[in-house]
Structure 1
Amino acid sequence: MKFGKSVCVLNVGGTRYAFSREVIRDFPLRRVSRLHACATEKEVLELCDDYDRDRNEFFFDRHAQAFVFIMLYVRSGTLRFVPGVCELSFYSEMLYWGLESAHLDTCCQKRLDDRMSEIGLDVFSVSEDEPQSPVEAELTGRARWLEKMRITFEEPNSSILAQLLASVSVIFVITSMVMLCASTLPDWDTAKRNTAEEHRILEAVCMGWFTAECIIRFLVARSKLDFLRRPLNIIDVIAITPYYVTMALAGAGMPGAGLGAAGIILRVLRMLRVFWLMKLARHFMGLQTLGLTLRRCYREMVMLMVFVFVAMAIYSALAQLLEHGLDTSSPNSDFASIPAASWWVIISMTTVGYGDVYPVTVAGRVLGGFCVVSGIVLLALPITFIYHSFVQCYHELKLRSARYARNLAASDLTQ
């Protein structure tokens, strides 16, 4: 600032904090850092409630205890709610000083989301900011636009446009899957020859949409390297590539069906389009919850697999012995080996029971009863942990979607 002393005093609700002008300039709280750019006392009073020129003291009539916790965030990077203070009141203090809900810890964000979902968004007024310089406004506007584009393509529930794009993407995915399934029908080649132009146009439109969507998401991504590392994006590239390879080969006069091993590889790659169904995970919270649950519960899943494989090894060895090894006169050919018996064990433990393989001896049937009962028990043991993790992941994704919508609404109000 162009007036006052080198030491600035912030008086928040009667509690004083002394800082140098250099610290004020780079202060993490936007309202405080803007004091450094003030040239007149009138501009200062637009940011604070009172100003003492002699002591260079800025008075803010705000919650002193809440500001203590905000200062802890400035020093340590951790922001939590003040014990005994309403979440909504503390959030209004955060907005006043220039913080958002994203600065809160995860547990406090959940509490805030719960409270705001109960009363709605209209009770909050976003603090107004001073007009920025043209250059700064241009940079901020461009960054905000890129962030909105990224959220539009990544979060289908963030806006009406995002929901529309997600719906169009789902329609193209379903259309592509229907064409892929129909291509395996015996009469598909004849139908394709009769309507070859229509099939080519429809396939080109689907591929054009998927390609444009992938390119736009890559351009607006925060980190291009992280974008290329994500499994869903890798699946997109793998699913799109065979179409352009086939078009290139057809343009060169080498259709993929007559390339021998190369044609088989192209057909395998073309069949990878079925993984486009994984694109639906971007648009449906249920699939996102399933993926997040599997990622978090991999220990429980490994434990479940260990239980199953150990039981398979024991029961398949005993079944082979009782059905084939001991009865030398009329052995059961379905249990001629332990690997063959393991098929019966796995369908029995999972209570599928196709009936294609079954024991015929009394001892084998008794063993089968134990196998079925133990399979129910072993499969049920880790289910409780997986269920609770699924519920937690669902609530987290639901709250994150609500937080995106709230932040977008708040940013629209500031514009």
Structure 2
Amino acid sequence: MKFGKSVCIINVGGTKYAFSKDVIKDFPLRRVSRLHNCASESEVLEVCDDYDRERNEFFFDRHSEAFGFIMLYVKYGKLRFVPQMCELSFYNEMIYWGLESSHLEFCCQRRLDDRMSDTYTHFTEEDHKKEDESRAQEKGRVGAKKDAKWLERMRRTFEEPTSSVAAQILASVSVIFVIVSMVILCASTLPDWKTAESNVVEEHRYTDSLEHPSGIIEAVCIGWFTAECIVRFIVSKDKCEFVRRPLNIIDLLAITPYYISVTMTVLTGENSQLQRAGVTLRVLRMMRIFWVIKLARHFLGLQTLGLTLRRCYREMVMLLVFICVAMAIFGALAQLLEHGLDLESGNEDYASIPSACWWVIISMTTVGYGDMYPITVPGRVLGGLCVVSGIVLLALPITFIYHSFVQCYHELKFRSARCSRSLSTEFLN
């Protein structure tokens, strides 16, 4: 902050808070911390509603009580709803200050999920628009405005498939390459395909004929994915954040095995087809199956699934704890009833608790392979209880996960609709 006094006053709905410039710089609330990068009063007024230069006071026309609870979160790390305040209104205040629903305590998250699922309300378009505009302005300060606009358009083309016609075409081509790569990977495990590859390798010992067509297709797909990843890295806003994203890590893991194989071919002088006989390279080559996850960039359903799993990690951990506890109890009882009481004529399938735990997990999930089953009457009674308890335990967290899935789907669908509207405007202009 290149102006004003060393002490800043934040006025939210009439309630004032005093902070130093150093505190403002690293403030947990994104909207407040943006004040530190403002170089003029005009930039300050883009962040807050009014500014008093003499007092160095920044005024925000927002709910003062809600901001008080948000300040409690900044101080103690716990964020809860204001009593007798609409959950959606408080969530709107959270988004304004730069917080998300994941910052809420678990009980409040459930209340917000239920409320949003019931009302199917989306009220954050204006706030998202303001955030996008501010980020574009911050990017414009780094370089020339034309370059920033061009980079932003390139970034949206590669990151947001519905942002423009070019982005839709690029996404379609990428999906085609993913499908072709998966088909080639699956076909390469067929016995007839392996025989044809072996014949080609045998011919290479005496002739300089072209490689197997699968190798050419694989090289083309790898080239496309590599070029796409490099371009997305170049036009990304934050290079460190780009490297940390899960989808980008998966892209790297899927591309790397091919280059390892090529490097070994160059260093050893052996044919890459022969090298694939190695166990390590076969494992690395099979990692290309992760390319299927790249489809999450282009399909709303996969994005919803990933976002739901990220937000419902507590419920998933709770589900795993339920299963582990049930496995320990029923596994020990099954081993005792089927084998422990009669060591000579007992059921050998239940000779140990770990073996019995396999039967427990198969029974609780109602898969029922039939590879092992109880033969005593007490064991069969225990098996029935195991199946019933499995149905109940697995169903308990499903309601929470379902509500979170609905909320995530509505949010992503709303963002997609915004991008579609911007695409229509761009096409008409």
* TM-score for the superposition, normalised by structure 1: 0.67
Name the structure 2 match of 1:265: 280
- Could you tell me how far apart the structure 2 residues matched to 1:402 and 1:104 are? 24
- Could you tell me how far apart the structure 1 residues matched to 2:60 and 2:284 are? 47
Q: SS in structure 1 opposite 2:373?
A: coil
How far off is 1:409 after superposition? Answer: 5.8
Q: SS in structure 2 opposite 1:75?
A: strand
How far off is 1:405 after superposition? Answer: 3.8
How far off is 1:78 after superposition? Answer: 7.8
1:193-204 pair list within 5 angstroms? 193=199, 196-204=211-219
Q: Residue by residue, what CA displacement relative to the aligned partner does 1:267-315 show, whole Å, maximum 9, x if unpaired?
A: 2111110111110111111111111111111111111111111011000
1:118-267 pair list within 5 angstroms? 139-192=144-197, 193=199, 196-252=211-267, 253-255=269-271, 263-267=278-282
Aligned residues: 311
Distance 1:112 1:346, change over 3 A: closer
2:181 maps to a residue whose letter is S
How far off is 1:71 after superposition? Answer: 4.1
What 5-or-longer segments of structure 2 have no aligned partner? Answer: 1-38, 52-56, 64-94, 102-115, 127-139, 201-209
**Structure 2 residue aligned with 1:28, among 45, 51, 59?**
45
2:396 maps to a residue whose letter is L
Distance 1:260 1:266, change over 3 A: closer
Any conservation in 1 of the 2:262–2:272 contact (CA below 8 Å)?
no
1:271 maps to a residue whose letter is M
Name the structure 1 match of 2:295: 280
How far off is 1:266 after superposition? Answer: 2.0
Distance 1:79 1:408, change over 3 A: farther
Q: Does 1:75 align with 2:58?
A: yes
Q: Does 1:318 align with 2:323?
A: no
Distance 1:78 1:400, change over 3 A: farther
Q: Residue by residue, what CA displacement relative to the aligned partner does 1:232-284 show, whole Å, maximum 9, x if unpaired?
A: 111211211221222232234034566699x3322211111011111011111
How far off is 1:77 after superposition? Answer: 6.6
- Could you tell me how far apart the structure 1 residues matched to 2:211 and 2:274 are? 19
What 5-or-longer segments of structure 1 have no aligned partner? Answer: 1-21, 31-68, 81-101, 115-134
1:91-130 pair list within 5 angstroms? 110-111=122-123, 113=125
- Could you tell me how far apart the structure 1 residues matched to 2:404 and 2:153 are? 30
Q: SS in structure 2 opposite 1:196?
A: coil
Name the structure 2 match of 1:344: 359
- Could you tell me how far apart the structure 2 residues matched to 1:169 and 1:391 are? 28
Q: CA RMSD in A?
A: 3.3
Q: Which structure's CA Rg is the greater one?
A: 1
How far off is 1:185 after superposition? Answer: 1.6
Name the structure 2 match of 1:37: none
